[in-house]
Amino acid sequence: MNRAASHGFWAEAWRRYRRRPLAMAAVMFVGFLITVAILAPVIAGTKPVLCRYKGKLYAPCLGYFDRRLEPVIFTKDRFRGEYPRNLKEKDPESWAIWPLFFQDPYRSVRNNEWPGRPANPSRDEGRPSRTNLFGTDQYGVDVLAKMVHGTTVALLVGFLSMGIAGTIGIVVGALGGYFGGWVDMLTSRITEIVMCVPTLVLILALVAIVDKPTIWKTMAIIGCTGWTGIARLTRGEFLRLKSSEFVMAARAAGAGPVRIMLRHILPNALAPILVPITFGIAAAILMESSLSFLGFGPPPPAASWGSLLNDARSNLSMWWLVVFPGTAIFLTVLAYNLIGEGLQEATDPRLREARK
Amino acid sequence: MQTRSEQEPGRWPRWTLAAAVLIAGCGKSPNDDLGVGPKVDVKPELSTSDAVLKQPMTPAAQPATEPFEPPPLADLDAKASWIDRPVKDGLVLLRAAQAAEQVLCSVADAVALKNDSAENNGKILSALGRLPAESEADTQARIDRHVVGDLGSTNPIMISTSAEFDILGLTGFGLFSFGRDLEPFASAETVVSWQTSADGLLDKVVMRDDLVWSDGTPITAHDIAFSYTVIMDPRVPVPAVRSGTDQMKGVHAYDNQTIVFFHKEPLATNVWNINFPVLPQHVYETTWEKDPTLKDSPEHVALEQSPVVGGPYEIVDRTRGQQIVLRRRESWSSVDGKKVRDEPFFKEVRFRIIEDPNTSLLAIKAGDIHEMILTPEQWTTQTTGDDFYERNTKATAPEWVSFHFGWNIESPFFADRRVRRAMSYAFDYDEMLEKLCYGLYQPCAGNFPEDSWMSPKKKLVPYKQDLDTAEALLDEAGWIDHDNDGIRDKEIDGRLVPFEFSILTNQQPLRIAICVLMKDCLDRIGVRMNVKPVESTVLQDLTQKRKFQAYFGGWGSGVDPDSSENIWKTGAMRNFVNYANPEVDRLFEEGRRELDRAKRAAKYARIQEILYEDQPYTWLFWRNSFYGFSKRLRGYVFSPRGPFHYSPGFGSLWMPSE
């Protein structure tokens, strides 16, 4: 065997994946979304990215990630959320680096808040314009700002919920598949029971019961109910692999069950498991959008693509409330599905052969 | 005095009992498209709805009524020195009023108008609000009305939500009503005479003898006395109508036509207390004892589906969650082949149940419904084009429905009056009125409508946003950011409590938007508020149990100011915010006993002033009526309680014959 042929499984998969332009575009799109999510307060906001005030440097924009990260001095000095005017008035020496778009995802920009700029248009007058590229909603809140900040929610929902689902699914599936017998019996029954729990109803119940229904709790529920498919697939892979020669060899060498599962079987089983996880991310994003559309998403005024679509429902002539968030949801879900499909074809030897 | 004798055929009674309704269940009501919150209406016209709250709905220990032996009628007549009270026909009153009004434009012009100015609104109301001339109305017409929720029950004494009021108001029988000016009278369609004793302790009514239930049995005074007994039976789970009747000592039928109401005290509110729904005695007297829930036994289940009714309409079809169809009852207008009353204009009334306002707007544009309440957004941006005006027009008028943030005074945050005032100073009213409410609603300073008789002569000025004052008040109350985390806090019981609380609201977008605006305003002064939209039923439950820190809600003002006692009196059931002020309690007591209108007004004006100072609520706005009507409809006339909930109300609507 020559050196060129001795690529590892993952390097080989990646090589094959790269050949698929659509799948690559999807990866780049998700990369773009991650960048947008991380840089959201830099892209759109009304709080300076960085400013020098009374001799010190501050980054008030961090307040968009967590309200507690916003420097207290601005509350003490009664800025009341309006930075441009107050910075100049209270410290003429101050300077600030502003976000790319001076728009807030949670409220309408007031008249002259940014020197010389009128208040955001409200009602149905907020068509896309130079100041509001994607237009504004009925209450004058900028759609672009909402979408940029909503990206964080969309991505987090996908990654976190499937992170939880993946962990639970793999553990349960691995235990059942590896040990068989009564363990398998037990885990399979648990899986079947959880499959019967309707996620949507559970989330609606949570919203009604919990005092502060946050997006984190929603993610936890999507994660805790969405692992069944992963568990079944993992179980199948483990059942198949546990009697393979390299596992027997490991066992003969004295490796314990945990080591065998983690070190020997899991890496070989991971490829097919990743596929439903990727599709699951897409499903979770859709689920969050549906929930927000129905009014059960993250508590207001949280920015979410689905809630933008919901706003559009009351006035369909405001096409910009449908087109932009709708496209964003569509593209994101499509991207994850393409990645899933790409992974499947890059890692499944049968599909690989078929494509040759 | 326009008292009419029973020979003159009148219109149907339109007893306007339950505009008092709580908006239970559906959380929205036809007169409440924005939903007026947990319990919308302050039991407007009579002291109905506090019944729910004052009286336990489960079998109670309290006796139904105290044993009471009515004296012979001759004795009463000898001592009472009766004073005649008005017996009127709402439609005749309206016709007389319209005869004196100048018509601002022709029907053809009004139909072609777009309602884009106060002037055009006036023209539309003037021309299209007229009653029909002789044989101008199509008496075979059907009207398709819109309601946002289904009926909980078809039994009139179970009336509670606004949808029930809309429908049971047409099928139910009643002796009393009130007109556009909200002045009470006995209905000429059912009553011959109404007298009150000089001491105010008795009311005597002589009913007409040409009234029959839908099964052909005559309606008599005994039915009314029987209904009183059933309503006062603590085993019967009456949700709303018991609170007026509980102020009475008893009700006694002396013969088939004569009924006397005995009051405990000569109250100004007695006139509303005698107005309650009526059940057919011959139907319920055997079933009621067996099943006091009035809904569980097979007989009651059957009655629920096809009730025996005494009003001008009867229910002929009911598809749950979709529609309820009423048909005009011939036995209402003619008895033994003789015409005794005018028949209602519409032969059939179909109520379409549509919860979502966007769907109902599509329905009215398609001509599937003939009327609906419009939201500010719909009024301003979605009913301006030809797609709406092709089949419809719209009209607006002031209405006595106000909205507020309620602050739970027993929570650690809002016990201090200064904090509540700070909340009121923090809110951006201009932004709310202009942007969120499309400039359609009026600022509100307190619980009584500004132009009503019970409001203070010196107008109260609605609060304006003043963040400096708000911050100063919070500082004064000890809410200062001690730990430098950007949130104000205060040491309570040795623990530093940050000023962070939740506000409950239902899920209507406008309400959420108003709460979000408040959140932003408070955020600017170092107070954190979380907006928590919940289902209407959950909101009702939590507010009734006082399990909240703040909530967004609304009330429809009662016709009588006494109706808001159960919102402000210490410990009253609808006093969700736990407000307690002995002076307010005393003033309500005195107001009820004061019979002189001017002196009474002074007491309620004082209550309003005290509430303004105390700010247990942050009053936000008065919501006007905004209705879309089919161009085929005529005769809509607005009262402070909207176009339907008074006399004649719905009874004045008609369609011209083609």
Tokens coding B305: 């589906």
Specify whether A206 is located in the same domain as A308. yes
Give the minimum alpha-carbon distance from B505 to chain A in angstroms, rounded to a whole number: 11
Determine the pLDDT at residue B311: 93
Inter-chain touch A72–B486, beta carbons under 8 Å? yes
In a domain, A140, yes or no: no
Same domain, A69 and A211: no
Q: In a mutagenesis test of the A interface, which of B361, B383, B436 is the best target, namely the one with the most A β-carbons within 10 Å?
A: B436
Other CB atoms within a 10 A radius of the CB of residue B99 amount to 8
Residue of B448, B414, B650, B433 lying closest to B550 (CA atoms): B414
Can you list the alpha helix ranges (DSSP code H) found in B55-148? 73-80, 90-100, 107-112, 118-128
Is residue A184 located within the same domain as residue A234?
Answer: yes
- Find out if CATH 3.10.105.10 is the number for domain B401-622: yes
Judge: A300–B516 Cβ closer than 8 Å, yes or no.
yes
> So what's the pLDDT on residue A353?
58
Range A328-333 contact pairs with CB under 8 angstroms and sequence separation of 24 or more: A328/A147, A328/A150, A328/A151, A328/A154, A329/A154, A329/A285, A329/A286, A329/A289, A329/A305, A331/A29, A332/A29, A332/A30, A332/A33, A332/A154, A332/A282, A332/A285, A333/A282, A333/A285, A333/A286
Q: Which two tokens stand for residue B421?
A: 């005032």
Span A130-154, pLDDT tens digits: 889 999 988 889 999 999 999 988 8
Q: Are residues A24 and A71 in the same domain?
A: no
Please indicate, yes or no, whether residues A283 and A197 belong to a single structural domain of this protein: yes
Using alpha carbons, select from B377, B250, B223 the residue that is nearest to residue B311.
B223
Residue of A nearest to B426 (CA): A80
Residues A82 and A221 in one domain: no
What is the pLDDT, as a whole number, of residue B500?
A: 94
Which CATH number covers residue A289?
A: 1.10.3720.10
Q: What is the pLDDT of residue B114?
A: 93
Chain B residues with CB inside 8 Å of A314's CB?
Answer: 357-358, 375, 377-378, 509
A101 & A157 share domain: no
Dist. CA B644–CA B633, nearest whole Å: 14
- A182/A165 same-domain check: yes
Do the chains contact at B525 and A138, CB–CB below 8 Å? no
In this structure, the answer to whether residues A70 and A121 fall within a common structural domain is yes
Establish, for the pair of chains A and B, how many residue pairs have beta carbons separated by less than 8 Å: 81
Tell me what percent of chain B is helix, strand and coil, each rounded to the nearest 5: 35, 20, 45
Q: Which of B469, B483, B516, B529 to mutate to test the interface with A (most CBs of A within 10 A)?
A: B516
- Interface contact flag, B530 A72, Cβ < 8 Å: no
In chain B, residues with a C-beta closer than 8 Å to the C-beta of A107 are 516-517, 520
Per-residue tens of pLDDT for chain A, all 356 residues: 444 555 677 788 888 888 889 999 999 999 999 999 999 999 999 999 999 998 889 999 998 888 888 888 888 888 888 899 888 888 888 899 999 999 999 988 988 888 888 888 888 888 899 889 999 988 889 999 999 999 988 888 888 999 999 999 999 999 998 888 899 999 999 999 998 988 888 877 877 677 666 778 888 888 888 899 899 999 998 888 888 888 889 888 888 888 888 888 888 888 788 888 888 888 888 888 888 777 677 778 888 888 888 888 777 788 999 899 999 989 998 998 898 888 888 877 666 555 54
pLDDT at B507: 77
Cβ distance of A123 and B380 shorter than 8 Å = yes
> Which residues of chain B neighbour A211 with C-beta distances below 8 Å?
502, 532
- Asked if the structure places residue A138 within a domain, the reply is no
How confident is the model at residue B64, as a pLDDT?
52
Give the rounded distance of the alpha carbon of B618 from its chain centre. 22
Closest CA in chain B for residue A296: B533
| Predicted pLDDT of residue A310 | 82
A302 and A233 share one domain: yes
Domain limits at A173? 2-38+145-355
Residues A209 and A61 grouped into a single domain: no
Q: How far off is chain B from A126, nearest CA to CA, in Å?
A: 12
Are residues A199 and A99 part of one domain? no
A179 inside 8 A of chain B by CB: no
What pLDDT score does A12 carry?
A: 82
Number of domains in chain A: 2
Output the pLDDT for position B10.
Answer: 32
pLDDT of residue B47: 26
- Tokens representing B180 are 């556009």
pLDDT of B533: 84
Cβ-defined contact of B481 to A75 (cutoff 8 Å): yes
| DSSP string computed for B490-531 | EEETTEEEESEEEEEE-S-HHHHHHHHHHHHHHHTTT-EEEE
Residue B119 CA to residue B581 CA, distance in Å, equals 45
Compute mean pLDDT per 10 residues along chain B, 658 residues long, and list them: 31 34 30 32 29 31 64 91 93 92 92 92 94 90 90 83 82 91 90 93 94 93 94 83 84 94 89 91 91 89 90 91 92 88 93 87 94 90 92 92 93 94 95 89 88 84 94 94 89 92 87 93 92 79 89 82 85 87 93 87 92 94 92 92 88 91
Contact B127, B208 (CB under 8 A): no
Residue B550 C-alpha, separation from nearest chain A C-alpha, in angstroms: 13
